[in-house]
Amino acid sequence: MASFSGKVVAITGAASGIGFEIAKILITKSATLSISDIQDAALQSAASQLKSEVDAWIQQTVAEFGGLHCAANFSGVVDDQMGARNLSQQDDDSDYDFVMNVNLLGVWNSMRAELSHMKSGASIVNASSAAGLIGFAGIAAYTASKRAVTRLTRSTCKEFGSMNIRVNAVAPGYIVTPMSNKAVKSMGLAPDDMGPVKASALGRPGQPDEVATLAVFLLSDKASYITGTIIPIDRGLIC
């Protein structure tokens, strides 16, 4: 895989899961990393506050390291009531707002800050989901947020293609991460019992490093002719 020597990479969601694995791989590829993550309590902050924090982080990254060449936007959340309620049982918008503010607006704010400092040859990879490509019962807000990320990815690909800046997304199926484990536990299930796992061709949950390897490839110069692409990595769930 290509070296990232001399390249500055910003990663959101880097404290655990896929984002953490991306950081681990990039360290071995000589990348300079600027990582960000926020705890659950902080996710409840006003969207305007989160935007200012993202702007400040990216500005500090550029000031300290002299530029920004790549970004992996992998912060994400699921509804705490995942799978427990259908849309008609959502009595208020609090869960919807929470999921959308992190999964969609978080990517929006991150990309806006990142792209304002990127030049020719830069690359962004966003985290969508298999749920953003097909529907799943009980996670309407999450599904909507990840579908929106796919559209945002493809729109910005066209907006910045003339500048030779690439924008792609990965669409993982069920991946064993702290976030997904928490959601599955709240449903009283084990990962192997999840419907999407049983319905997939390989019939097993995925591991974070399997997704991270693909994301790092898309960030690299080896993927120089790939942009605007949403790549499922889902054990053959969507096939």
Q: Of the residues 146, 180, 200, 220, which is catalytic?
A: 146
pLDDT attached to residue 177 = 86
Q: What is the pLDDT of residues 24-67, one digit of tens each?
A: 999 999 999 999 986 554 545 555 667 888 999 999 999 999 99
Catalytic residue at 146?
A: yes
pLDDT attached to residue 201 = 78
| DSSP code of residue 133 | T
Question: Which residue from 111, 134, 101, 150 is spatially nearest to 12, judged by alpha carbons?
Answer: 111
Q: What is the pLDDT of residues 114-157, one digit of tens each?
A: 999 999 999 999 999 999 999 887 788 899 999 999 999 999 99
Question: Which residue from 206, 75, 55 is spatially nearest to 128, judged by alpha carbons?
Answer: 75
Q: Of the residues 123, 142, 145, 180, which is catalytic?
A: 142
Residues 119, 109: Cα–Cα separation, whole Å: 18
Q: What is the pLDDT of residues 165-191, one digit of tens each?
A: 999 999 999 898 887 777 666 666 666
Catalytic residue at 96?
A: no
pLDDT attached to residue 43 = 47
Give buried/exposed letters for 96-113 (b at 16+ CB in 10 A, else e).
bebbbbbbbbbbbbbbeb
| Both structure tokens of 230 | 């949403």
Inter-residue contact 179 to 82 (CB < 8 Å): no
Question: Which residue from 34, 210, 13, 217 is spatially nearest to 107, judged by alpha carbons?
Answer: 13
Q: Which of 155-169, 182-196, 212-226 has the lowest mean pLDDT?
A: 182-196
**Mind listing the domains of the chain with CATH numbers?**
8-233 (3.40.50.720)
Inter-residue contact 9 to 58 (CB < 8 Å): no
> Averaged over 207-229, what is the pLDDT?
98
Catalytic residue at 225?
A: no
Q: Of the residues 75, 110, 123, 128, which is catalytic?
A: 128
